[in-house]
Amino acid sequence: MPKPDSSPSAVIVSGGKQYRVAPGDRILVDRLTAEPGSSVKLGRVLIFSDGKDVKVGAPTVDGLDVDAKVIAHRRGPRIENIRYKSKKRVRVHSGGRAHLTALEIIAVGGVGLETEEKEEEAAPAGKRRGRAKAASAGRAQGKSDKKRAAAPKAEAATEGPAAEAKEEAPTARVREASEKETTRRRKKETE
């Protein structure tokens, strides 16, 4: 979905790769030495646009930073590299997973989510803000309506003959698994 032209955006460089970012975006970059929850400034801004004019750096735009918050450190998907030559006994298998850092872009060139949140607080309370307060109050209570409705059913399942059968079944499975393990061990010892 294209972003509206009025929001600031930029092209930054991190780890030798270029990323197009705007406030609120989440990106994965090569691992940064920062703790999750801390903020990071990305200073290599190649292009900056605030919706009206565009600044192109040579090689970077001076005086502009992109503020980001470190969400988590992750590992990327497994990438395998196989080299094979038939009839030559060449079979090399290598690969690995990249170490990545998940970032959430807070502000681009000093304009971003923080300034938008302050503007919302200054505005009078509207319908949207009322819904957010109600949702946060529901989260504060702990249980949702679905969990409250499911709680009596769970208590009913712990009583009666059906519950006794459920309790016996796992112990029988564990007993069978341990008997199989002992027979395997005995076979290995005799071999």
Query: Which residues are CB-neighbours of 92 under 8 A, at least 6 positions away?
Result: 82, 83, 84
User: Is 112 in contact with 68 (CB distance < 8 Å)?
Assistant: no
Query: Which residues are CB-neighbours of 130 under 8 A, at least 6 positions away?
Result: none
Mean pLDDT (10-residue bins), the chain, 191 residues: 68 94 95 95 92 89 92 96 96 96 92 60 51 47 47 48 52 68 79 70
Reported pTM: 0.54
Quick: pLDDT tens for 31-68.
999 999 999 999 899 999 988 889 998 889 998 999 99
Position 177 scores a pLDDT of 72
91: part of which helix (H) or strand (E)? strand 90-108
Residue ranges per structural domain of the chain: 9-123, 158-191
Question: CA 42, 75, 15: angle at the middle one, nearest 5?
Answer: 30
**43 three-state secondary structure:** coil
